[in-house]
Homo-oligomer: A and B are copies of this chain.
């Protein structure tokens, strides 16, 4: 029995079948029938649908791996529009020569992440490309979620006066991946990768229509996510630098590597826009959900006459906080 991925495994023939039966279905569960498409009962008429490809390097990093990340990332994209995630697909592009042991660790991690979040991986696909034509493993997950009656979240609902909530400390995923890639051993660093749908459900049920918009600040970090929302909603946000939670070890690691934590990716944090006066309640809800003792109100929506994010610095000054441009940190998710 081979211990690495062979081109044969992508042929669609016998070897593909063995890989699917012996590895994928063993972890992800066996459907009643293996058909070209999964047949699903969707208990509502409003669905959310999203897709995300994961190319993170390295594929294992402190706090997670490409498998759990691929599950959490797509769950979170569904959660950000207020949907309950139900079904995921998993599309694998494997490089010839990848060790089957590593592949199995990734698939088992996906299975655990899906189970613990209560979603089902119901359909999949595997392609193998020759050595040197991909880098070990790329995973695409698409997801279907159920949008409850009356839920409508989006930047078009952002209003002047809205308070801006951040659900926890930032930059942990980005820094954990980068330091693992560079082979740095920084104490106490761990990705924040986590599913956010339970948090969203709690916010929706506690705040109702006063929850206006959600966004997970992934690639490009907090600064880029805020800029996107400012632009789509045509509004000006004021953010107070000293209120943005950043753990000491992350601050230290960022200084060491010359990185700005405001631009580093998060995979288990959300930004919420809530009606003026409901911010403290939102914090309470996040804190009751247990994992977010460091959530904070980081700013507010100032006006709708220009799309801009203003950072009030710790030194009392202010500056425009731009979107990420140039200096990419590739393959962070």
Contact = CB atoms under 8 A, between A and B. Distances in A.
Given A49-B123, A53-B92, A93-B55, A11 B324 contact: yes
Oligomeric state, in number of copies? 2
A328 interface: yes
A162 interface: no
Interface residues of A, number: 87
A140 B43 CA distance: 26
Contacts of A80: 35-37
Nearest to A322: B14
Contact of A142 (B91, B265, B331): B91
Contact of A328 (B7, B47, B263, B324): B7
Contact of A37 (B81, B325, B330): B81
Contacts of A224: 12-13
A259 interface: no
Contacts of A13: 219-220, 224, 263, 323-326, 328
Contact of A42 (B45, B53, B140, B331): B45
A235 B68 CA distance: 39
Contacts of A216: 36
B323 A17 contact: yes
A134 B132 contact: no
A57 B70 CA distance: 26
Contact of A89 (B51, B93, B132): B51
A326 B7 CA distance: 9
Interface stretch (A143-151, A203-211, A308-316): A143-151
A89 B83 CA distance: 17
A319 interface: no
Contacts of A122: 49
A116 interface: no
20 contacts: A8-B325, A10-B330, A12-B219, A12-B265, A15-B328, A36-B50, A36-B215, A36-B216, A37-B48, A37-B143, A38-B48, A39-B46, A40-B47, A49-B123, A51-B142, A55-B133, A93-B93, A129-B135, A134-B135, A142-B142
Given A36-B50, A42-B45, A55-B133, 15 more contacts: A11-B330, A12-B220, A13-B263, A35-B80, A36-B78, A38-B48, A39-B46, A40-B49, A49-B89, A49-B123, A49-B144, A53-B125, A53-B140, A89-B142, A93-B138
